[in-house]
Amino acid sequence: MQSTQINLLLVAIDNIDKIYNSDADWEYKYDRIFSFSKSTVYPLLDELGINLGYYDPDTTYKEDVTAYYYAIMEIKSNLEKEGY
């Protein structure tokens, strides 16, 4: 994998983490995370051949954001285990 792309991905994941853990309401988090992630995370995942593969419950803002967040954090954890 390209370390530059992985570093960009980790920065993007950290931004998602900050949004998720903010005091904002869930609708705001949903709007920010999904608009942000579509422009930064998804293309990087595609370039790196990483499949997000998470279940989107498609119910409340909180459940949607939380499902996505945990899938992203799992990717981050796997990258850290690989030494990134």
Question: In which residue ranges of the chain is pLDDT below 50?
Answer: none
Which range of residues forms the domain containing residue 8? 3-81
Structurally, the chain folds into a number of domains equal to 1
pLDDT of residue 33: 95
What is the Cα 44 distance to its own chain's centre?
A: 11
Give the Cα separation of 13 and 56 in Å (integer): 18
pLDDT of residue 77: 96
What separation in angstroms does the CA of 6 have from each of 55, 63, 65, 67, 72? 23, 27, 22, 22, 13
Give the Cα separation of 57 and 42 in Å (integer): 19
Give the Cα separation of 33 and 36 in Å (integer): 5
